[in-house]
Chain A
């Protein structure tokens, strides 16, 4: 699974700290999500998608072989 968090965040000129604060996680979690080391739970994925006013599928890209 890959995600568009870093690109969406940069496009909106938001810092990792601000995004973390908005969705109620630590900055380290945002860093791990952006680098692909950690996959978000459904709840966090929903919060992130809601924050960017997008659907979960727009933020997270599921690959067939996973």
Chain B
């Protein structure tokens, strides 16, 4: 689904876009397996302190998840590239202006919800847990910095 954010644009050579996407999938599969390998290394050589050993399970889970999801994406993209008719339909779906509008509005609503939840969570955690509070504060600051800088970028670009 995330790869949908990097959709083709009208006039693009869709086959080239799909090829680029396959390369991206391959990079993420490698990243997933690397994460899995790191988790196996940590488990076998018992590097981590027992109090944070749950991190091994997290690394393994994320690694397998990313690798499998990208493998599925890679296979379906390569299959799509073999069928001209399906490729054309998929290109129309990706470049459809209404679909783009729907995605933009959904992203906007998600960002708003994220900030609202972060605000409530910060109000609660400020009295309960300082570490969690600072983490949430950092997320909010990064969010606004990215938002303002990307807004400035697109204001100049468009």
Give chain A's interface residues, CB within 8 Å of chain B: 20-21, 24-26, 28-29, 32, 38, 40-41, 43-44
Binds A, one of B54-62, B90-98, B143-151: B90-98
B: number of interface residues (CB 8 Å): 9
Contacts of A21 in B (CB 8 A): 92
Task: Check A28–B10 contact: CB distance below 8 A.
Answer: no
Contacts of B93 in A (CB 8 A): 26
State the Cβ distance, A30 to closest chain B Cβ, in Å. 9
Task: Check B95–A24 contact: CB distance below 8 A.
Answer: yes
Once the chains are docked, how many angstroms separate the CA of A44 from the CA of B98?
10
Once the chains are docked, how many angstroms separate the CA of A28 from the CA of B101?
13
State the Cβ distance, B34 to closest chain A Cβ, in Å. 38
Closest residue of chain A to B98 (Cβ to Cβ) is: A29
Please encode chain B, from 77 to 108, with 1 for each CB lying within 8 Å of some chain A CB and 0 for all others.
Answer: 00000000000000011011111010000000
Contacts of A28 in B (CB 8 A): 96, 98
Closest residue of chain A to B88 (Cβ to Cβ) is: A21
